[in-house]
Amino acid sequence: MQTPNEEFMKLALNQAMRASELDEVPVGAVIVKGQNVVSLGYNQRESSNNALAHAEIIAINSACQALKTWRLLDCTIYITMEPCPMCMGAILNARISRLVFGCYDLKNGCCGSVADFKNFAFTHKKIAVFGGVMQQEAAMLLSKFFKQKRNK
């Protein structure tokens, strides 16, 4: 039987695959409250010509609308890749309680790879962070995408 982390991370990986099919960097996000999926998101920067259209930002915006609040207390966000500074800032500002991510981002990651935002003295920093969930699957999607890009 799958753990909840894997079940929801598989949904995030499906979102990442959608991004890849649209020639977007394959990153996906899912926000869950309890055992209920609240929102989904995948990268859409290229198709929307919007630097802010990261999977996490799209999922957070959608969750805020669905729950009719900007405070996503007691929610978990599942992301296929360690969040960048912008997305980690949004996650903290949205008061998300738990973050689960797949592969580490050694160039931009803010959960320990480049910086560790949860250890900074921000107003809200009560977040549990778990990395490396289905790491190989998430990293493989990214590797395959960028290999295809280089071969074009």
Cα separation of 68 and 16, whole Å? 26
Which SS3 state, helix, strand or coil, does residue 65 take?
Answer: helix
6 included as an active-site residue? no
Q: Is the dihedral of CA 135, 12, 1, 4 positive or negative?
A: positive
From edge to edge, which strands make up the β-sheet containing 128-130? 36-42, 28-33, 75-81, 98-103, 128-130
Strand-pairing partners, residue 128, are: 98
Catalytic residue, from 7, 46, 56, 137: name it: 56
How far CA 74 is from CA of 23, 24, 98, 145, in Å, comes to: 33, 30, 8, 33
Q: Which residues are catalytic?
A: 56
